[in-house]
Structure 1
Amino acid sequence: MMRSEQYERVLRYFDRDGDGKISASELSHRLALMGGELKVKEAEVAIESLDSNGDGLLDLEDFIGMMEEGGVEEQMNDLKEAFEMYDADGNGFITPKELKAMLTKLGEFKSIDECKLMIKQFDLNGDGLISFDEFKLMMQ
């Protein structure tokens, strides 16, 4: 089965009224049936960010764009930006000191020892630092 046919099938699943487009209420409803939760207002914001023609609906082209490029690539870019905010010295690792500084900016006050414990939970190689790969796992 071609990829576009798969996307069409998924689009049809979400498209309750059969107009070939996904509305915010359709998106919210179907996600609820699948065990997710997305309020209609949140769905409207999500659709607005992906809607290429400004009609407030996701058509097949928007849906394919979301699935192929925007979704994964955008998430990865967002993760990289977040990681860079923590990695103040830009060396590719988050240290306990950098974690403490960022948490303080966010209004969470932790000691260096608490930050070391937080890092230890996701530090796969035991170096006392968080690499980007470890950060991705932490954020999932």
Structure 2
Amino acid sequence: MGKRHSKLAPRTLAELRDQTNFTVEEIQDWYKEFKSKWPKGVLTSEEFKKEYSTFFPLGDASEFAKHVFRVFDQNADGKLDFREFVCGFSIVLRGRMEDKLKFSFQMYDINGNGFISREEMLEVLAAMYKVESSLSNVLDREDPEERTDSIFNQMDLNCDDKLSLEEFIEGVKKDPRLVKLMDIS
């Protein structure tokens, strides 16, 4: 009886293979790990923050993890099912540059209105700075406010004090520091 839900249905497995950058074997491994850690089949925001923080033991990743979780949670129900989990990590770990840029844009676009405001950029950058001190080399030791101003001065081509997806993508592609910061190279 316990074995009934321990494997993905062949149809689901095939769909995930087509939707992600993982092999069938990798998806099966991810699923086994997911089910062993979260037997109910869903992961809450708090559980995600706790798990995410294990990757950054020297910093405080909880605020940054909140933003990552929001982008992973495609149906905005406050929980990640396996599909959302594996699709999110597929983009983060193996996505094409364009997909990673769109993911990053969604992370910064906190209110989901299709633009990044200075306040949104500042909030995410401040959270990012708490994650790990090693980011300071990439960030040129600027504080989050200085970095936000620098990014907007570089990317906000039409000077409307918000970044569109197009401005964001073009701006990141032109700045090797930002490419490294967003880990999309």
TM-score (norm 2): 0.36
TM-score (norm 1): 0.45
Answer 1 or 2: higher relative contact order, Cα 8 Å, separation at least 6.
Answer: 2
Larger radius of gyration: 1
